């Protein structure tokens, strides 16, 4: 049976260009990039070339990019550094933020919750109230990882900076899918990851605002200009750089964005043709990420739908507790006032095709109808 992968928002297949860069790096003679011998200098040159490619995609200077083991480490490092610079002060965070953001913050400081609307978007009036308490850090994801809602990152950054408060932007879900110009945004900290847009798993970066300093979370070495100890993962960095270089071409990014919108529109049309199925989050496609849609499915829990589609050869995701490693349902959907046990997330990526949409269209209605019949 042919498989159809519609869970790119969890992780996307490795792009051929990234794989080729990783293989080439693995074929090189091993050299510690922190050493002055020829092998070390060569390894350092390849890492810095990849750093330049990632920085170009983000609109920042290469020295602002600190490579990490992924988005989760970058988030934890951002929170650690901000809390160390303003001990005792609270951290502001919306309930729709990624669990890494929420849990890392709760470990080091009191957390003040920002209100969101039914679309999962931060309410700026709530932020203005919170800023009166001068938090150590305000979190604002570029886009939500479950429902795709684009956040008002520019407005949030402007309000925070006017109040003299630092901002961390989690751009992991957005990078590679919409233009992410961190240089123009000017925030103090941002976290990114490679694996959700076709780069390698296990590599990401913390982006530090120009001229900003922070205490590193990982110590024990002077790697990454003393901001993240540990020997750099050169093969993964090379793959990250190759994936970033592809999307530095605005035409390439625009083409992939257009293809994603078209495929998601097809998935949405097929799903919503069935009674009792609606879009969760912003119904306006301009207000959410182009590559994903979250659906509410009435009359049946999502977990059996995920299993039924999987048996039909289609991989999707749900915010229900049983559909992930977590024992609790999605806090994102709960913060929005949505039943997470009846949500279904469909997401496409660089390798998605019309055949994936057609397979979903053939299978979704029979799966849901069959489950509803069992309930009745």
Instruction: Please identify every residue annotated as catalytic.
Output: 322
Question: Cβ distance 219 to 189 under 8 Å?
Answer: no
> What is the CB-side half-sphere exposure of residue 117 using CA atoms within 13 A?
12
What is the distance between the alpha carbons of residues 296 and 333, in angstroms, rounded to a whole number? Answer: 10
The answer to whether 207 touches 192, Cβ cutoff 8 Å, is: yes
- In the block, residue with structure tokens 């479950």: 146
Which neighbouring-strand residues pair with 191? 170, 206
User: What does the alpha-carbon distance between residue 315 and residue 360 come to, in Å, rounded to a whole number?
Assistant: 10
- Residue 52 contacts by C-beta under 8 Å, 6 or more apart in sequence? 62, 241
132-171 as b/e, with b when 16 or more CB fall inside 10 Å? eeebbbbbbbbbbbbbbbbbebeebbebbeebebbbbbbb
Q: Phi and psi of 122, rounded to 5°?
A: -60, 135
CA-nearest of 352, 278, 272 to 316 is 352
- Whole-number Å distance between alpha carbons of 176 and 79: 24
In total, the chain counts a number of residues equal to 376
| C-alpha 83, offset from chain centre | 22
Is the alpha carbon torsion for 194, 195, 199, 204 positive or negative? positive
Contact 33/232 with Cβ under 8 angstroms?
yes
Local structure of residue 314 (DSSP, 8 states) = E
Question: Are the beta carbons of 143 and 164 closer than 8 angstroms?
Answer: no
Assign 3-state DSSP to the chain and report helix, strand, coil percentages, each to 5.
45, 15, 40
CA–CA separation, 303 and 321 (whole Å): 9
Closest listed residue to residue 352, CA positions, set 5, 88, 2: 5
């Amino acid at each position: 049976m042919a498989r159809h992968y519609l869970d790119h928002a969890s992780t996307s297949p490795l792009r051929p260009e990234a794989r080729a860069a990783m293989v080439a790096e693995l074929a090189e003679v091993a050299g510690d990039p922190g050493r002055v011998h020829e092998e070390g200098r060569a390894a350092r040159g390849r890492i810095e070339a990849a750093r330049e490619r990632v920085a170009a995609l983000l609109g920042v200077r290469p020295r602002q990019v600190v490579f990490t083991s992924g988005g989760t480490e970058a988030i934890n490092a951002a929170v650690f550094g901000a809390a160390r610079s303003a001990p005792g002060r609270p951290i502001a965070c919306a309930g729709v933020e990624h669990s890494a953001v929420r849990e890392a913050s709760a470990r080091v400081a009191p957390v003040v919750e920002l209100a969101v609307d039914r679309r999962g978007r931060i309410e700026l009036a709530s932020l203005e109230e919170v800023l009166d308490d001068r938090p150590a850090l305000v979190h604002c994801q570029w886009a939500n990882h479950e429902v795709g809602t684009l956040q008002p990152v520019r407005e949030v950054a402007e309000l925070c900076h006017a109040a003299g408060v630092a901002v961390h932007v989690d751009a992991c879900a957005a990078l590679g899918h919409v233009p992410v110009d961190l240089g123009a945004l000017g925030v103090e900290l941002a976290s990114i990851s490679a694996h959700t847009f076709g780069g390698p798993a296990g590599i990401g970066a913390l982006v530090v605002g120009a001229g900003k300093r922070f205490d590193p979370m990982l110590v024990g070495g002077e790697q990454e200009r003393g901001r993240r100890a540990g020997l750099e993962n050169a093969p993964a960095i090379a793959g990250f750089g190759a994936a970033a270089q592809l999307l530095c071409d605005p035409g390439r990014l625009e083409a992939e964005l257009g293809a994603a919108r078209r495929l998601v529109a097809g998935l949405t049309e097929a799903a919503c043709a069935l009674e009792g199925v609606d879009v969760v989050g912003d119904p306006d496609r301009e207000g959410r990420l182009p590559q994903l849609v979250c659906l509410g499915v009435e009359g049946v829990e999502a977990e059996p739908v995920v299993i039924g589609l999987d048996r039909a050869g289609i991989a999707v995701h749900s915010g229900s507790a049983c559909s992930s490693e977590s024992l609790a349902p999605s806090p994102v959907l709960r913060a929005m006032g949505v039943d997470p046990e009846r949500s279904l997330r469909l997401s496409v990526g660089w390798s998605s095709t019309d055949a994936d949409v057609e397979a979903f269209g053939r299978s979704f209605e029979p799966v849901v109808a069959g489950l509803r019949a069992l309930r009745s």
